[in-house]
Amino acid sequence: MAELTYLQAISDGLRTEMRRDKRVFVIGEDVGVYGGAFKVTLGFQEEFGHWRVLDAPLAETAIVGACTGAAIMGMRPVAEMQFADFISCAWDHLVTVAAKQRYRAGTPVPITVRLPSGGGFSGGPFHSQNPESSFAHIPGLKCVCPATPEDAKGLLISAIEDPNPVLYFEHKHLYRRIKGEVPEERYTVPIGKARTHREGDDVSVITWGAMVYTAGEAAQQLESDGVSVEIVDLRTVMPWDKPAVLESVRKTSKALVLHEDTRTGGFGAEIAATIAEEAFEDLDAPVKRIAAPDTPVPFSPPLEKAFIPQVDDVVAGLRELAEY
Amino acid sequence: MATTEAIDVVMPQMGVSVSEGTITKWLKQQGEQVEADEPLLEISTDKVDTEVPSPGSGVLTEILVQEGQTVDVGTKLAVIGGDGASAPKQVEAPPEPATAEAAAEAEAPSSAESPAPTAEPAPSTNGKTFVSPVVAKIASEHGVDPSQVQGTGRGGRVTKKDILNFIESGPQPAAPAQPAAPEPPQAAPQAPAPAAAKAAPVPAPAAAQAGESFEPMSAMRKGIAEHMRRSLDTSAHVTSAIEVDMSKVSAIRAKLKKEYQQSYGVNPTYLIFVARAAAETLREYPWINGEIRGDQIVTRSYVNLGFAVELQDGKGLIVPVVKNAETLNLLGMAKAVTDIAQRARDKKLLPDEVQGGTFTITNPGGYGTFHGTPVISQPQAGILGTYAVVKRPWVVQDELGEDVIAIRPIMNLTLTYDHRLVDGALAGRFLRDLREKLETWDESAY
């Protein structure tokens, strides 16, 4: 095993699949000669040639449209959105065609769309969003949100292998900050399975992406208060691992749902509602949500800090639940 | 100040698990003046004996429930003020005062200071504090009154930890609680005033002996208990057994297994074969598929086959019904039984699907038993038991007509029948024909 950054693990997963399967190709803005805005595909064009590492025009509609067509013809395209925020241009192709084709005509659409998402570096309203809940709402699309390098590689391979369109949300704030042991060989992490990031008995935090680490730091602080916090890293937002979440909540009887996306209609609402519906008799406190306020992501560093849930916010939320 | 409006005095809720109380003594007589909070009567429940203070001031116009009577929580006991007939204002008597036990526990550190050991009502933690769903569930499961638990949560709320610690270290419950929630299919919700609770006069155990513990009976368990008893009181149960050589079925099973699993996702179990053969045989024995209704005998042109399905690790049983089982071939039967059994375990059965059975099959053989005497599902006339298939030395005839001992997979089948309707000879013929069908299984016919 080698220690890789989260970003290196994504490259590694993509390279593994491209070496293994000739149907896999990459398309996106600046992914070829430049190696991608974040250098995920650096050196790919040299290795795989410019027909398998395609520089696309600045047109997300064209990128996803080309992927959908290629997938229907039997290819395994991997599209890169330079920033997750830009995917709204491709909404129609994804939602109207890719998501529905299998139900409508029985044709699999095995496309993977890589979405560098998330804030924390003053990217402002167009370069910081976490739009997973918008797509989780669309039947036919899958959404994965890895938090660790190991999951980043394993989930990317699963996404490419999956016969359905999969949106792969990679958190930019984790790219070079998070390192971890990643197996060198090919492996998959199943879509739809959560991971227990930390075991505990008193409160469950249900979260994903970069917030896994925010929750982890908060849990450590709570430890000194004698409060034992369990963290469930969802890993896949759709289809989400309901049994794992319910099992944890049934154990602790208190749940905090945490995400970086905005609060109203965020995916946390779905999780909280499901807990209330299916684990009501096991609850010892109201289900709590911590999420960003319902505004675009601000540029200004102090404002952005106020916007994205911070360790202190989570500590306060956990204390509130523990004391309830 | 006297109350001009009439006030109802009702049987107070003495903790969540108490459903009724007995009036031991009226401390005021009809026509007497009573002040608010003045002791009005004494009541006794299975948890506590206590005085009930008057909910208001005025003349005790009417006593509705006499000493010695037991009534449900919420029952109107008396009327204060008014003329006793006008629509009175509903005022509940104050909620449960703390028991002496709880008060003593709470006051233990400073008991020297309290001059009299009388039970003062504890601070407002009683009854009115919010009880979370999980605490309510645990309380109900263990027959604990949450108001007796010292709360450490916000505003003195009893947390899950509090009640679990209480159960681990605290006193044993005085009596089992009512079930928390009704389970399908018996709908007998225990509402605040469970009139039905009195219908079944189950003697309440006085107190737990050392080493004993209580758990409340679920609505389903109560339903099963009632039905089993009623069935034995109704039918004249007799059981006949027969041994069946399953060689042929076993061979066909092995042949069909892969196809059934791969193409249809079902298993051709021995039970399916028996069910298929039983449905066929029952058409020729209408009385075994029949029922006694009043002084009439009911027979049918169809077979609705019930299957006993175990739930929750042996803690429940449900009998979903495959309607018109005589119309199903082997594959149809396999699909139907797999479907209802799965939905029974997932609690997804519709009420209609557990009704209307004309005959039942139960399969206790899964654990290796070779004989049993099941209880008939009323109002049916019979129940077929299937048991473990065991390889046994078996006397058969070789091609020369000589007796030889062979190893054969043998299954015992029992028919338990209502001897009021079905005679032993008829039951014997039914079992013989059923055996015949299984031993000479005709693939083309099924």
Q: Is the CB of residue B203 less than 8 Å away from at least one CB of chain A?
A: no
pLDDT of residue A211: 98
**A11 & A135 share domain:** yes
Considering the domain boundaries, does residue A188 fall inside one? no
Residues A61 and A110 in one domain: yes
Band (A3; pLDDT cuts 50, 70, 90) = very high
Position A292 in a domain = yes
Q: Could you tell me the CA-to-CA distances from A298 to A120, A177, A310 in Å, in that order?
A: 10, 22, 15
**3-state secondary structure at position B315:** coil
Please indicate, yes or no, if residue A49 is contained in any of the structural domains: yes
Last residue of a domain, one of A159, A182, A205: A182
Q: Residue A105 pLDDT > 90, yes or no?
A: yes
- Predicted confidence at residue B83, as pLDDT, reads 53
Q: Hey, what amino acid is at B359? A: F
Q: B49, B72, B419, B433: which one is catalytic?
A: B419
Give the pLDDT confidence of A205-215 residue by residue, as tens digits: 999 999 999 99
Closest partner residue to A284 (CB to CB) among B159, B180, B181 is: B159
Q: Is residue A41 one of the residues assigned to a domain? A: yes
Q: What is the pLDDT of residue B112?
A: 38
Q: Which residue of B has its CA nearest to A249?
A: B134
* Listed residue (A307, A6, A3) closest to A172, CA to CA: A6
A295: CATH: 3.40.50.920
Q: Kindly report the nearest CA distance between residue B175 and chain A, in angstroms.
A: 22
d(CA B279, CA B241): 18
Q: Is the pLDDT of residue A143 over 70?
A: yes
Asked if the Cβ–Cβ distance from B134 to A324 is below 8 Å, we say: no
- Quick one: pLDDT band at residue A242, thresholds 50, 70, 90? very high
| Catalytic residue check, B423 | yes
**For residue B167, how far is the Cα from the chain centroid?**
24
Residue B184's identity, in one-letter code, is P
Amino acid at A41: T
In a domain, A187, yes or no: no
Active site residue B227: no
ipTM of predicted assembly, 2 dp = 0.80
- Overall pTM > 0.80: no
pLDDT for A289: 98
pLDDT for A180: 96
Q: Does B160 touch chain A (CB under 8 A)?
A: yes
* Domain CATH for A116: 3.40.50.970
**In a domain? residue A127:** yes
In the predicted model, residues of chain B with pLDDT beneath 70 are: 1-4, 14-18, 45-49, 82-128, 170-208, 312-314, 445-446
pLDDT at B422: 94
Per the structure block, which two tokens stand in for A176? 């070079």
The answer to the question of residue A240 being in a domain is: yes
Same-domain check for residues A176 and A212: no
Cα of B361 to nearest chain A Cα, Å: 34
Say if CB B388 and CB B246 are below 8 A apart: no
Same domain flag for A242 and A204: yes
Answer yes or no: are the C-beta atoms of B9 and B77 closer than 8 Å.
yes
Find which of A284, A287, A321, A323 to mutate to test the B interface (most B CBs within 10 Å of its CB): A284
Q: From A125, A158, A182, give the residue that closes a domain.
A: A182
3 state DSSP class of A250: helix
Residue A71 lies in a domain: yes
Whether residues B132 and A283 touch (CB distance < 8 A) is answered with yes
Do A7 and A74 sit in the same domain of this protein? yes
Q: Are residues A164 and A201 in the same domain?
A: no
DSSP element (H, E) containing A256: strand A255-262
Q: Which residues contact A186 (CB under 8 A, 6 or more apart)?
A: A16, A17, A20, A157
More confident residue, B186 or A288: A288
Distance between CA atoms of residues B141 and B45, nearest Å: 20
A162 and A207 together in one domain? no
Cα separation of B220 and B17, whole Å? 19
Distance in Å, alpha carbon of A284 to nearest chain B alpha carbon:
5
Interface check B153 vs A, CB under 8 A: yes
Q: Which of B134, B180, B181 sits opposite A284 (nearest CB)?
A: B134
Q: What is the pLDDT of residue B128?
A: 55
Residue A172 shares a structural domain with residue A46: yes
- Contact assessment for residue A113 and residue A64, using Cβ atoms and an 8 Å cutoff: yes
How many domains does chain A contain in total? 2
Domain boundary among A182, A211, A227: A182
A169 shares a domain with A212: no
Residues of A in contact with B134 (CB under 8 A): 253, 281-284
Identify the residue with better confidence: B73 or A95: A95
Write the CB contacts of B82 (distance below 8 Å, at least 6 apart in sequence): B4, B5, B6, B7, B58, B61, B88
Do A28 and A112 reside in the same domain of the chain? yes
pLDDT of residue B45: 62
Residues A174 and A226 in one domain: no
pLDDT at residue B206, as a whole number: 54
Are residue A287 and residue A313 in the same domain, yes or no? yes
Give the integer Cα–Cα distance in Å for A64 and A318.
41
Q: Which of B 120-139 lie inside 8 A of A, CB atoms?
A: 132-137
Question: Which domain does A166 fall in, by range?
Answer: 2-182
C-alpha–C-alpha distance, residues A132 and A115, integer Å: 10
Please give the Cα distance from B51 to B35 (Å, whole number): 14
